[in-house]
Structure 1
Amino acid sequence: MNILVTRPTPSANELVGYLRRLGRKAWAFPLIEFFPGSQLKTLPIRLQELGKGDLVLILSRNVIHYAELILTSKNISWPKILNYYAIGRSTAIAFHAATGYKIFCPNQQETSETLIKALSTQTIKGKNILILRGNGGRNLLRDTLLGYGAQVELIECYQRCAKFYHGEKEGKRWRQKGIDTIIVTSGEMLMQLHCLFTDIDRKEWLLKCRLIVISERLKSLAKMLGWSNVCVSNGSDNNTLLNFILTYTY
């Protein structure tokens, strides 16, 4: 198994390091990079406007990195009176490390659907909710919460931007490395991966690779794009992905 990790830096390098120390062949190939979001400067005042028991939903640990930068610069702390929810384990760990606060996260796959299931209508109705995320993405979470009677605002805390690569050169490089397994953790990256390489590389190599994704939704998208060998990890944090790879049999 020769593994290509497409998640962003530093997570990609971290996972590759774990795999190599365990004797696995792995390389980092980050498809996106991050920058401060267009609405990040509004975060301090929006947090301070919330009342006791209102909710903050954090959809990525990248949110915490950029939120901490702006809050620290304003000498403002995350309000203790709010209820915090993370989309997954790695995000929850990062938030707790930064604040020491309790934060809830689902134990299932890190998706909007599982987060919605974890929120009862009694918890949501009549509440003000901030959704902290990156640019783009689905609006399923916002639309569902609005339907439950909440007041919802999205704040773009960071931006995802595609990294530029020369598709023909990269196809040659990874085929020479014998890459046969690719880890992809978002639909955006999956689409980018599919479009990056030449038609012949896509047909002869890319679509024959095994994909490891983090949700059934991504698996369905991968199948639609032409992959046949797709398996689903039950989480997107590096420890979960590492354990999945180490226990995977094929």
Structure 2
Amino acid sequence: MTVLVTRPDERGQQLADELNRVGIVALHSPLLTISPGSQLAQLPSQLSQLKPGDMVFAVSKNAVDFAAQTLRDIGFAWRNDLLYLAVGHRTALHFTEQTQQPVRYPLVTENSEGLLALSEMTDLTDKNILVLRGNGGREYFSEVARQRGATVELLECYQRQNTELDPVETARLWQRCGVNILLVTSMQSLQALLELIPREEQQWLLDCCLVTVSERIAALARSYGFQQVEVAQGADNANLFTKLTELTSLP
């Protein structure tokens, strides 16, 4: 039994290393590469234009990292008169470390729906919201926030691009290594996975157990033909580790 960890950056490698340490064979093979976004230079001016009480929403840790580095490079401090938001606990903690400001996040449902259920999000009339995110991604939060009266600006802090891999050789390598559990943490990674593997090899892929981080990604995976799909309780490495160890301990 071998786990394929497709999560990009150091978090994916850390998770694979932790699994290997407890005797679970894991390969780290990122399907996406992360690079600085095309709009980072606009961040200081976008922050300056916000009114006191306006909001800054960081979609992910990557968005926080690239935004924070951009501001550090020019000596620009995060403002203390804005409301900072994140979609999950881990991202909120990281955002707090970078901004030195409190960050609000949903306590139960760590997604856009949960964020929109916060009391601060009920009436957004005359509010400006700056969304720090990657290229593409889900538009649900922005659409609902606008319906509630907000002006929403999207700022691309990072770009995700498919990693260049040889399709046939990669599929054969994974099969030789006995991969039968796939960890996929985003819509983009799932799509990159299916684009990478040749159609004639995809039945093997669809027979694998796919572990992901949201019911939305799980539903898409099932629509593509995956039969065994598991959803972890959270997108952080701790919850993913728990889910993967549970699966690998089954008889």
Q: Secondary structure at the match of 1:23?
A: coil
Instruction: Output the CA distance in 1 between the equivalents of 2:80 and 2:175.
Output: 51
Conserved? CA contact 1:6–1:182, under 8 Å = yes
Superposition TM-score, scaled by structure 2 size: 0.94
Q: Which residue of 2 aligns with 1:224?
A: 223
Q: Which residue of 2 aligns with 1:114?
A: 114
Q: Does the 8 Å CA contact 2:167/2:196 hold for their aligned counterparts?
A: yes
- Aligned residue in 2 for 1:210: 209
| Contact 2:112-2:140 within 8 A present in 1 as well | yes
Preserved contact between residue 222 and residue 229 of structure 2 (Cα < 8 Å)? yes
SS in 1 for 2:101: coil
> Could you say what secondary structure the match of 1:96 adopts?
helix
- Mark the CA change 1:119 to 1:245 in structure 2 (over 3 Å): closer, same or farther: farther
Query: What is the rounded CA distance, in whole Å, between the counterparts of 1:162 and 1:195 in structure 2?
Result: 9
**Residue equivalent to 1:4:** 4
The answer to whether 1:129 aligns with 2:129 is: yes
Identity of aligned residues (%): 36
- Whether 1:244 and 2:216 are equivalent positions in the alignment is no
| Cross-structure match for 1:57 | 57
The answer on whether the counterparts of 1:167 and 1:197 sit within 8 Å (CA) in structure 2 is yes
- Secondary structure of the 1:125 match is coil
Alignment-mate amino acid for residue 213 of structure 2 = I
Question: Which residue does the alignment assign to 2:97?
Answer: 97
Partner of 1:13: 13
Please, which runs of 5 or more residues in structure 2 have no aligned partner? none
The letter of the residue matching 1:153 is: E
**TM-score, normalised to structure 1's length?**
0.95
Deviation for aligned residue 1:113: 2.2
Kindly provide the amino acid, as one letter, of the partner of residue 151 in structure 2.
Answer: Q
Deviations along 1:95-120, one digit per CA (max 9) or x if unpaired, are 12223321112234542222222354
1:33/1:109 CA distance change after superposition, 3 Å:
farther
Classify 1:34/1:54 alpha carbon distance in 2 versus 1 (closer, same or farther; 3 Å): same
Count of paired positions: 249
Kindly indicate whether the alpha-carbon contact (under 8 Å) linking 1:133 and 1:158 is maintained by their aligned counterparts in 2: yes
1:124 partner SS = coil
**Where does residue 71 of structure 1 map in the other structure?**
71
Deviation larger for 52-61 or 92-101: 92-101
Pairing 1:80–2:58 present: no
- Distance in 1 of aligned mates of 2:77 and 2:166: 43
The CA distance in 2 between the partners of 1:187 and 1:110, in whole Å, is 16
Partner of 1:183: 183
Q: What root-mean-square deviation, in Å, do the aligned CA atoms of Structure 1 and Structure 2 show? A: 1.5
Residue deviations 1:165-212 (CA, integer Å, cap 9, x gap):
111101110001100101001111101111211223211x10000000
Amino acid in structure 1 at the alignment position of 2:64: I
Which residue of the partner structure matches residue 173 of structure 2?
A: 173
**Cα contact 2:123–2:148 (8 A) shared by 1:** no
Q: For residues 44 and 159 of structure 2, what CA distance do their matches in structure 1 show?
A: 18
Query: Match of 1:234?
Result: 233
- What is the distance in 2 between the residues matched to 1:57 and 1:44? 15
